[in-house]
Amino acid sequence: MGGTFNPIHYGHLVTAQEALYQFGLDRVIFMPAGQPPHKQDKEILPPEERYLMTVIATASNPNFVVSRFEVDRKAPSYTVDTIKALKKEHGPETNLYFITGADAVWEILTWKDAEELSKLCTFIAATRPGYSLEKFKKLHVLPDDQPLPRGKPRVYVMEIPALAISSTDIRRRVREGHPISYLVPEGVANYIHKCRFWIDY
Ligand code: NAP
């Protein structure tokens, strides 16, 4: 499960749990993006802080693990490099699903080595209810039994009501002094307040 996780919130956790359940996954590997290749935003906390909050948020779930792979990379985090490394680590027989937000997924055809990436994993795009799926038409959201056109990614769309929560809104709430309880796990909220993230940044 890839994301900037700036910060991780209950929408992400519900998405991971629902993917685990709906797709019968063995586990979900949270992969905080190290240096997002497409963003130069000063609001994005250092990778180590986003990694730490992800560990705090997932600590109690035995099916959730957090990887340092992208956080430790000096080079920009391209998904194709991450998926290749995971394939190597877990073996060619392992089926990999790349879970992330729909707004990121519908651009995958523009990502680095998109065709190769499409062969290495299946995509799960998480959306909030009411999200228009118009943009996904070019991505071939197909049932399992239909063969994919050459080089096209297989994308499943999963509607997650909890994705009404967003990292952008949480950062705004923190800046403006509004509560974030029940939007993020308690440990994450405590860590955000302790470090004064988005107030002193
Ligand atoms: P983003 O543009 O910050 O997020 C797009 C939308 O998706 C936001 O609404 C975001 O909500 C939501 N979202 C992000 N991660 C999610 C998750 N794990 N579960 C549910 N919703 C999620 O996207 P991003 O975080 O930068 O990138 C997402 C992933 O795609 C990362 O792993 C990134 O490395 C990868 N990516 C790769 C390339 C490439 O290889 N060239 C290019 C772009 C993205 P929140 O803000 O609330 O999270």
pLDDT in tens, 129-142: 887 777 766 665 55
| Average pLDDT of every residue of the chain | 90
Ligand 1 atom with the shortest distance to the CA of 98? 32
CB distance 57 to 170 below 8 Å: no
Q: Residue 36's pLDDT is what?
A: 63
DSSP designation for 123 = E
pTM, rounded to two decimals: 0.93
pLDDT in tens, 60-114: 999 999 999 999 998 888 999 999 999 999 999 999 999 999 988 888 888 999 9
CA geometry: angle 116, 118, 119, nearest 5 deg:
70
Pairing of β 64-66 and β 155-159: unpaired
Ligand 1 interacting residues, C-beta cut-off 6 A: 1-4, 12, 15, 31, 33, 36-38, 77-79, 99-101, 103-104, 111-112, 126, 163, 166-168
Q: Domain boundaries in the chain? A: 2-195
The matching CATH number, chosen from 3.30.365.10, 3.30.1600.10, 3.40.50.620, 3.30.1200.10, for 2-195 is 3.40.50.620
Check residue 130 and give left, alpha or beta (phi > 0: left; psi -120 to 50: alpha). Answer: left
